[in-house]
Amino acid sequence: MKAKHLAPLALLLPLSLLAACGGNPELDLHANWYSDPVHVNIQSDLEELSYEVTYTPPTRKDPLASFTYETGTYTTSLQERSSLAAYGAKGTGYTYHTELKIAGSYTYGNNAEESFENSVVSDVVLMNVDNMLQPVRSEKRYKVTTYYAGAVQTYDYTYTATYNEKLSETEITVKDLRENVKEEDSLNAFKKMKLKGSGTFLDNEEILLALRCLDLSAASTFRTVNPVTRERMNVTMATTPKNVKYTGSFTVEGTQTGELGLDAVSFSIGYTASKSGLTQSLVYALPSAEHDFRNVLLEMTTTAPDGAGMFTYKLKELNLFGNKKN
């Protein structure tokens, strides 16, 4: 697989971080998605979050292509698993499912307008916080039409990573699902690699979730595998988090809240394999006696491939652990 084929999809990953050097300490993780993160009894509870995704076009239009997007959705489901035996692992943990859906259309040159529906779906199996959210397996499927390097590109493939029990090795499989693709253009690939280094290791698909487990008053560093280049990386936040007041209205357990002012923390992140200057911005809720939002991701802004506009994800609905829908 040529890494350049996946370059435009780097910006569709849930998190992209800057490379860091040196050894890393283990992260201090807490299961902050519970009202009491200390006394945890994992059974079969489910947390569901839903986001609205909107698109802002670039200020400078491309002379060849024009993309527009409807309002989309991004949903996450964190499912407790009282046993991971079915996934080939020991102990308790979670399955974490995310799904991005957004429709759009484009014109290219003098051609007629074309419509498309993009979806990015991920599933990851991970151990509990006592086991540092150790990943067992993850899979992500991209069905995406996008604009990159002066051309409209369509992708349909899966990226799967499996890990051994000691978390010392991973096997990565990329399967191209497009029909009639020439071998030289195929994304099919397989790679086995050692996970060397010290410090906490997180699969790419669990990073946004794992950030909820941290004290975000300072930047943290951990290890991962870059899904685009399939290389091991030590990663860290690009900027030190800062406290902010976040305003929004939500549906919590089926009940409208009206407009709330939430204590939150924001920071920006960047990706070394993408163009210089392209960043993502994240806003997470902070613990509060008044509003129990369990450190959820409140808002995320990402840059579209080739810098062709911005996508903004805003939290709209929450169904948290230990609560019932109305």
Q: Is the pLDDT of residue 17 over 80?
A: no
DSSP 71: -
Query: Quick one: pLDDT at residue 276?
Result: 35
For the residues 246-259, what does the mean pLDDT come to?
A: 96
Q: Is the pLDDT of residue 325 over 60?
A: no
pLDDT in tens, 131-181: 999 999 999 999 999 887 788 889 999 999 999 999 999 999 999 999 999
Q: Is the pLDDT of residue 21 over 90?
A: no
Contact 204, 120 (CB under 8 A): no
Query: Quick one: pLDDT at residue 5?
Result: 56
Q: Is the pLDDT of residue 219 over 90?
A: no
Q: Is the pLDDT of residue 313 over 90?
A: yes
Query: Quick one: pLDDT at residue 257?
Result: 95
Contact 14, 312 (CB under 8 A): no
Minimum mean pLDDT range among 19-28, 85-94, 244-253, 302-311 = 19-28
Structure tokens at 53: 């995704």
Query: What Å distances lie between residue 320 and 128, 155, 261, 277, 293, CA to CA?
Result: 17, 34, 19, 35, 8
Query: Quick one: pLDDT at residue 9?
Result: 52
pLDDT in tens, 263-309: 999 987 654 444 334 567 899 999 887 888 999 999 999 888 766 78
Higher pLDDT, 185 or 87: 87
Between CA 62 and CA 117 the distance in angstroms is 21
Give 183's contacts (C-beta < 8 A, 6+ positions apart). none
For the residues 211-233, what does the mean pLDDT come to?
A: 84
Hey, is 52 helix, strand or coil? Answer: strand
Q: Is the pLDDT of residue 8 over 60?
A: no
Query: Quick one: pLDDT at residue 272?
Result: 42
Of 155, 143, 151, 5, the residue nearest 67 (C-alpha): 151
Between CA 111 and CA 127 the distance in angstroms is 50
Query: Quick one: pLDDT at residue 71?
Result: 98
Residue type, 201: F
Query: Quick one: pLDDT at residue 25?
Result: 83
Query: Quick one: pLDDT at residue 120?
Result: 94
Query: Quick one: pLDDT at residue 99?
Result: 97
DSSP 209: H
Longest dimension (CA), the chain: 62
Q: Is the pLDDT of residue 60 over 80?
A: yes
CA-based torsion, 86, 205, 99, 191: positive or negative: negative
Q: How many CA atoms lie within 13 A of 283 on its CB side?
A: 17
Domain ranges of the chain: 3-319
For the residues 82-91, what does the mean pLDDT come to?
A: 97
Query: Quick one: pLDDT at residue 238?
Result: 67
pLDDT in tens, 88-114: 999 999 999 999 999 999 999 999 999
If phi > 0 it is left, if psi is from -120 to 50 it is alpha, else beta; for residue 316 that is alpha
Structure tokens at 101: 């859906």
For the residues 75-96, what does the mean pLDDT come to?
A: 97
First-last CA distance in the chain: 48
If phi > 0 it is left, if psi is from -120 to 50 it is alpha, else beta; for residue 253 that is left
In sequence order, the β-bridge partners of residue 106 are 67, 114
Mean pLDDT computed over every residue of the chain? 87
In sequence order, the β-bridge partners of residue 257 are none
DSSP assignment string, 293-316: -TT-EEEEEEEPGGG--EEEEEEE
Beta-sheet pairing, 310-319 with 242-252: parallel
Q: Is the pLDDT of residue 222 over 90?
A: no
Q: Is 149 exposed, middle or buried (0-12, 13-18, 19+ CB in 10 A)?
A: exposed
Higher pLDDT, 24 or 31: 31
Hey, is 183 helix, strand or coil? Answer: helix
The radius of gyration of the chain from alpha carbons, rounded to an integer in Å, stands at 20
Query: Quick one: pLDDT at residue 275?
Result: 38
Query: Quick one: pLDDT at residue 149?
Result: 75
Structure tokens at 155: 């992708």
Query: Quick one: pLDDT at residue 230?
Result: 80
